[in-house]
Amino acid sequence: MISRAEVAAQPDPSWNLLKFHINEVAVTFLSYPSFDQDPHPPLTEATKINLNTGSVIRTDYRGRNNPPILHRKEAFLPPGDQRIPDYAALTRKEEEAGLYRDPSRIGLRVQWLTLLRRLQLGHEGHRLVSRRIRTSAENLENGTKPEVVRHRTAIKRYDLSKPVKQLLERGLIRKNETFFDEFGFEVPLYSTEVGGKIGLQNWNDSHPANYWSFTISGFLACEDAFAQLENSGLAGEDVLWVRFRQEEDSFDYEKLLRFTYDNCYAIESFDFVDKYVKGQEFPVVVIEGCPEHCNLESFADPSTAAEQEMWAARRQLYLCCSRATTFLYFVLPRGEGGITDEIEEIVRQVSEPRNPEDVTRRTWQIQFTRTELTRRVDAFHFQTPEEAEIQTASPSVEFALDRPVTVRRLAEVLKIESAEAISDLFSLGATFQRSTDLVADDVAKDVALKHGIILRIGDEEESDDKQNVEKVAEVAGSKDSLDSKLLNFRDSPRFPRHANIVRRYLAILNWFVETVPNGPNQVLGYRRAGASRRFFATSPQELAEHASSPNPHQIGRSGVWALTTTDSRFKREILDDLLRIIEISLPVRQKTMGAMR
């Protein structure tokens, strides 16, 4: 059978691993040319053949900068193979070093090498070795002169700094609170009037460089920032590169393997920054893009959940920026407004001293404009999702439609073709032949949900968000019901309501796998009638076998991966199908799909 499949599929002649699929009658021929030499060889080609239909899917990884890699090689060898002891010994050492604690971060080459560098580990053949940097004490024992970082030397002080005194005088911090008084700025300007200026001032002796323009810079593209570092002789422990946005198509991210590279463009980036980035120090930090939610159009008193999300996002940015001890670079496009303009203005203000003619004690100053609203220091306490107070989400998109509801009228209000509306109706088990056929109210509402719309029919009144929440809560019933749990999640700060559609999609899927009994398996078992495409799998490689560009994202930390290249409507349909399976009520599904608009 395998021989006939190989003749039909015509895989890479160097294939050396065969995968049998358990969910379909198919096999995949996998090519790992460096299986014997590389402790974690990259996949170069995968050729899958369906043994029932004869269809072949071929995926070439040779030109990819970040291909899948193989772990636990001993598991793929026949019993008695002489290579097993060496491979198994390597796996045990890697397990003991904690490299397999989070399998979602080791399946691709760049993430794997970044983890090794962070843990100061490497490979020599099939041995795991330490790449640990020597401590100061070890340097002294070896006769190496230790580096003294002068600008971080503590200065003895016998009174509170002027900024802290002013904060106390204005009641912005309380006298019984504990804090560290480590400000390095003077406050030459402090206006209490709306529109007035507040200024922070520093001087060159408190910074390792005479001009901040040498230490903080902005670039339009990754290639420009990389060119600044490429020939500097900096090692991996000298540079931290943090990415908060989608990859640039024109930039080869594999070039960053020489540095410490962290991808924080992920739904769990908040936890990642706190766990892996916080507490480290690097001479050079490069910030590519900004976290989601850094911008807020308007402020209110009291503060809203959206504002708290903004501060939390800016905290991520601050934590990464503050890892820099000497140079801080930003890779940001111009003219996007919001946080991008703020960073550009900060860079502009500190790029040269206010008194460049002075030989000594040059001063730098940055000014802010006082706004009508102020926030106390305790407003910036970042709660865990479990501690956070539940907030009401923004209203969903609603449309009204008078009876009688026909296929044509439904299509018009949803702004789709009648044929598309009929296709939607067929997917719900309803049968229609003409655009003038009548559609039942509940069926019409279900079709609208596929497009992220709450449909009001006949004399149903359009409700404001508060009334809608009350109506949905009545349907949800018990606080322990899945309806109630989904509502609470959708209306909580855990749901990224201001993020892009992919992050919102992944967030709801994450709620599903965490909350619903047997949730991961229900998601993995999801299929669409008439579609051969797989939307969920247990690895990025498995998704890649079913789609040429799946852009896989892990759902939380569940080990389930989602294909994210479908359009927004398709994502809503998948979510609505899953919520139907667990019998989520129509009003709750309406509210949830409204958040996916």
Distance of alpha carbon 473 from its chain centroid, rounded? Answer: 31
Q: With DSSP H G I counted as helix, E B as strand and the rest as coil, what are the percentages for the chain, rounded to 5?
A: 35, 15, 45
Residue 411: partners with Cβ closer than 8 Å, 6 or more residues away: 417, 418, 420, 421, 435
Checking 279-282 for CB contacts under 8 A at 24+ apart, the result is 280/240, 280/323, 281/323, 281/325, 282/237, 282/238, 282/239, 282/240, 282/323, 282/324, 282/325
**With contact defined as beta carbons under 8 Å apart, do 188 and 199 qualify?**
yes
Q: What is the pLDDT of residue 28?
A: 93
pTM value > 0.85: no
Regarding beta strands 56-60 and 45-50, do their DSSP bridges make them parallel or antiparallel, or are they unpaired? antiparallel
Checking 576-581 for CB contacts under 8 A at 24+ apart, the result is 576/446, 576/449, 576/450, 577/526, 577/528, 578/509, 578/512, 578/522, 578/523, 578/526, 579/486, 581/522
Q: What is the pLDDT of residue 463?
A: 45
Residue 268, CB-side half-sphere exposure with 13 Å CA sphere: 14
Q: What is the pLDDT of residue 166?
A: 64
What is the spatial distance between Cα 480 and Cα 400, in angstroms, rounded to a whole number? 32
Q: Which segments within 100-196 are labelled E, that is strand? A: 121-124, 127-130, 186-190
Q: Which two tokens stand for residue 263?
A: 């991808």
What is the secondary structure of 369-385 as a DSSP string? EPPS----GGGG----T
Q: What is the pLDDT of residue 581?
A: 86
Q: What is the pLDDT of residue 150?
A: 40
Regarding beta strands 26-31 and 17-20, do their DSSP bridges make them parallel or antiparallel, or are they unpaired? antiparallel
Cα→Cα distances 478→164, 484, 495, Å: 49, 7, 21
- Reference 187, options 205, 209, 164; nearest CA is 164
pLDDT in tens, the chain (597 residues): 888 888 888 999 989 999 998 878 899 999 999 999 999 999 999 999 988 888 888 888 887 767 889 999 999 999 999 999 999 999 999 988 888 877 766 888 877 887 887 778 889 899 998 876 544 444 445 555 445 444 443 444 455 665 666 666 666 666 666 665 544 567 788 888 888 988 888 765 444 444 444 577 888 899 988 988 887 778 778 899 999 888 888 888 888 888 888 888 765 556 667 767 777 788 899 999 988 888 877 777 767 777 877 888 888 888 888 888 878 899 988 777 888 888 888 878 876 777 767 666 677 788 888 888 777 655 555 543 333 333 333 334 567 777 778 877 787 777 776 667 777 777 666 666 666 777 777 777 777 776 667 777 766 554 444 444 444 444 444 556 788 888 888 877 778 766 677 888 888 999 998 888 888 888 888 887 656 667 888 888 888 777 655 678 888 888 888 888 777 777 888 888 888 888 888 778 877 777 776
Structure confidence by residue, pLDDT tens digits, 546-573: 765 567 888 888 888 888 877 777 788 8
**With contact defined as beta carbons under 8 Å apart, do 67 and 28 qualify?**
no
Q: What's the burial of 523, exposed, middle or buried (CB within 10 Å: 0-12/13-18/19+)?
A: buried
Q: What is the pLDDT of residue 386?
A: 34
What is the spatial distance between Cα 42 and Cα 61, in angstroms, rounded to a whole number? 9
Q: What is the pLDDT of residue 96?
A: 87
What is the secondary structure of 208-277 as a DSSP string? SSS-GGGTEEEESSHHHHHHHHHTS---GGGEEEEE-SPPPTTS-GGGGGGSEEEE--STTHHHHIIIII
Regarding beta strands 363-369 and 197-203, do their DSSP bridges make them parallel or antiparallel, or are they unpaired? antiparallel
Q: What is the pLDDT of residue 433?
A: 61
Q: Which segments within 51-179 are labelled E, that is strand? A: 56-60, 121-124, 127-130
Q: How many residues comprise the chain?
A: 597
**With contact defined as beta carbons under 8 Å apart, do 563 and 547 qualify?**
yes
